[in-house]
């Protein structure tokens, strides 16, 4: 009898997780949908069945779930993930709460697998996931020396509040999620500002890239920007390789990898766009070209569905990876 719970089931990521369960063939004898008191009582369709969302309380972890997938924000994860863990559940957590803890695995199943033994496993930040998926073949074939990211992140990354600000902003309504209008605008500000002048989103990309790729000394920098796009993040990567390559060798590194699609025919106006990434499971790369201002350096453009590969899909892939191993 396999008991699975989804915490944050009514959110933008949680509802996609439910869809991903079906797509990835997750076998749960009993699936429990959980949320805060505010959303509890709602009904959601799960594989043709109607399930009522229940409130997450301190008593819930005692119900003995085998697996818990959480997408409910850092403070909920801080409070509840250890309670589920103490009660024997394996927790896959989508928040930033546990990602950089030394004893917590940070997993992108195409790149790594849990090995540290803790029952809390962290799902990385959305813009980090798509970036490291694209960087992994470059790391393997040429070695990585330095990465500088500039992101163009969709409002769905802020959940329903971000989508609302974009939609209602187009009708002239003041924002409630962002400090400025996002309609007709671009905000170089994602998550809170830190003392070093970077935002937490930028710091996440720097720290998580090093951890996932197991390159603690990799030179990494990031500028993260919110753009008026509903869904799918775009990331420009300026990548310095350890060993030089031709543009075609860099493109070739991305070919024949099932979870990467190379779209790089600028002569036909073909390159990855967020609109075309939306609803797709793979990471798209293109605009590969040499940066003549630095040795062994290339520009790579990368898009992916931030709610799928950046969140729900990656979490469910981790769940499948663990279920198949046990
Ligand atoms: C964002 N990285 O796009 C966040 C979502 N986790 O705001």
Answer yes or no: is the C-beta of 157 below 6 A from any ligand 1 atom. Answer: yes
Average pLDDT over residues 84-110: 97
| pLDDT, position 72 | 93
CA of 158 to the centre of ligand 1 (A): 6
Q: What are phi and psi of 290, to 5 degrees?
A: -75, 140
For residue range 225-264, what is the model confidence (pLDDT) as tens digits?
999 999 999 999 999 999 999 999 999 999 999 999 999 9
The CATH code of the domain at 127-306 is: 3.30.360.10
Answer yes or no: is the C-beta of 12 below 6 A from any ligand 1 atom. Answer: no
Average pLDDT over residues 160-181: 98
For residue range 140-163, what is the model confidence (pLDDT) as tens digits?
999 999 999 999 999 999 999 999
CA of 157 to the centre of ligand 1 (A): 4
Q: For residue 77, is it left (φ>0), alpha (ψ between -120 and 50) or beta?
A: alpha
* pTM greater than the 0.95 cutoff: yes
- CA angle at residue 161 from 156 to 165, to 5 degrees? 90
**DSSP letter for each residue of 183-239:** TT--BS--SPBPTTSSBHHHHHHHHHHHHHTT-TT-EEEEE--B-S-SS-EEEEEEE
Q: Which residues of the chain does CATH 3.40.50.720 include?
A: 3-124+311-325
Q: Which residues of the chain does CATH 3.30.360.10 include?
A: 127-306
- Angstrom distance (rounded) from CA 101 to CA 197: 23
Tokens of 277: 């990434």
- Angstrom distance (rounded) from CA 54 to CA 70: 14
Helix, strand or coil, per DSSP, at residue 14: helix
Q: DSSP state, 125?
A: P
Helix, strand or coil, per DSSP, at residue 313: helix
* Alpha helix segments (H runs only) across 87-199: 126-142, 160-169
Q: Which residues are annotated as a binding site?
A: 10-13, 38-39, 99, 153, 156-157, 226, 306
pLDDT of 326 over the 90 cut: no
Q: Is the ipTM of this complex over 0.90?
A: yes
Superfamily of domain 3-124+311-325: NAD(P)-binding Rossmann-like Domain (3.40.50.720)
| pLDDT, position 117 | 86
Answer yes or no: is the C-beta of 71 below 6 A from any ligand 1 atom. Answer: no
């Amino acid at each position: 009898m396999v008991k699975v719970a989804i915490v944050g089931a009514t959110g933008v990521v949680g509802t996609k997780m439910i869809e991903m369960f079906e797509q990835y063939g997750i076998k749960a004898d009993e699936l429990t949908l959980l949320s805060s008191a505010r959303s509890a009582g709602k009904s959601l369709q799960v594989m043709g069945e109607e399930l009522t969302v229940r409130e997450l309380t301190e008593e819930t972890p005692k119900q003995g779930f085998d697996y818990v997938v959480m997408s409910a924000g850092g403070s909920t994860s801080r409070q509840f993930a250890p309670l589920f863990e103490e009660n024997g559940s394996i927790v896959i957590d989508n928040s930033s709460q546990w990602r950089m803890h030394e004893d917590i695995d940070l997993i992108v199943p195409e790149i790594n697998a849990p090995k540290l033994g803790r029952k809390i496993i962290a799902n990385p930040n959305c813009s980090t996931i798509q970036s490291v998926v694209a960087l992994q073949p470059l790391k393997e074939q040429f070695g990585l020396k330095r990465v500088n990211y500039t992101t163009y992140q969709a409002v769905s990354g802020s959940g329903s509040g971000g989508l609302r600000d974009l939609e209602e902003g187009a009708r002239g309504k003041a924002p409630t999620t962002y400090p400025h209008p996002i309609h007709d605008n671009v905000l170089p500000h994602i998550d809170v500002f830190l003392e070093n002048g970077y935002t937490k989103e930028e710091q996440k990309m720097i720290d998580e890239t090093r951890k996932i790729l197991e390159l603690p000394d990799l030179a990494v920098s990031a500028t993260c920007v919110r753009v008026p796009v509903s869904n799918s993040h775009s990331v420009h990567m300026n990548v310095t390789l350890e060993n030089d390559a031709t543009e075609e060798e860099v493109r070739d590194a991305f070919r024949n990898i099932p979870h990467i699609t190379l779209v790089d025919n600028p002569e036909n106006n073909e390159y990855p766009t967020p609109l075309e990434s939306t609803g797709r499971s793979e990471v798209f790369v293109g605009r590969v070209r040499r940066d003549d201002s630095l040795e062994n350096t290339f520009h790579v453009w990368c898009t992916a569905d931030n709610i799928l590969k950046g969140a729900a899909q990656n979490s469910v892939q981790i769940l499948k990876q663990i279920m198949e191993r046990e």
